[in-house]
Each structure stands twice: as C-alpha cells, then as structure tokens.
Amino acid sequence: MASETKIDLFDNPRPGRDYVISTEVPEFTSVCPVTGQPDFGTISIDYCPDKYCIELKSLKFYMQSFRNRGIYYESAANEILDYLVECCKPKWMKITASFTPRGGISTEVVCEYVSKTCNEQS
C-alpha cells in the first residue's frame, strides 16, 4: 500500500438500489521510478456501492500518500483499485488513471473489478 492512510466508510443510504458514484481526483501526483521526475494525472473512480460508501476526506489523504512515491502508472491504478475494493467491497468499481503527456506521449490506464455476486446476477 502507498501508506498507512485508512479509508473511512459510511453506510450506503440506498443499499437496495444499484447506482454509481463517480469521484474525480484531478491533482494526483506520483514520481517516475526511473527518472525521479514527478508524474501528474487525474484518477477517476466509478463504483456501485454495496453496504458502504467511501468518505471523501480520507480518500483525499490516501491519494496524497502517492505524492513522493516512485511507482509506474499501471501499478498505481491497479493498487488503488485493489485497496479501495478491499476497503469498501463494492459491487463494481472502475479506476481510470489519465496521466498528462510526457515526452509527447499520454497514457491512460483503466482497470475494473466486478464482485462475484454481481456476476451471478448477470
């Protein structure tokens, strides 16, 4: 994990209804593990909550924990997905990590989780 930052949760106010929560972190920063240069990007989080929703202040602190950490884009996106799924156990979650161009190349990493119970209902 990026740090010991804990994600706080609150009870889903509509657990009987499927709906999507979309959250955007437009100032995500980390460090390139090869060059040590800063990487900037936007992390978009879309999820269908089950029992719990993610509290945004704690999410902000979690995202800030990547600030001085050397990590590849692909690893950051997948680590964020894994950690948030572990914390809130959503029905479905998608992370889209869009990084600003460096050297004329822009990168977007998309990773997704679907719960087993969600698969069984399909």
Which residues are annotated binding-site positions for substrate? 54-56, 73-74
The whole-angstrom separation of Cα 53 and Cα 119 is 20
Question: What is the strand order of the sheet 38-48 is part of?
Answer: 21-31, 38-48, 92-102, 105-114
**Active-site residue 39, yes or no?**
yes
Catalytic option among 8, 32, 46, 87: 32
C-beta of residue 9 within 8 angstroms of C-beta of residue 52 = yes
23 has which bridge partners?
45
Binding-site residues from annotation: 54-56, 73-74
Q: Is 103 helix (H, G, I), strand (E, B) or coil?
A: coil
CA atoms within 13 A on the CB side of 68: 1
Residue 83: closest CA among 108, 53, 62, 114: 62
Residues with active-site annotation: 32, 39
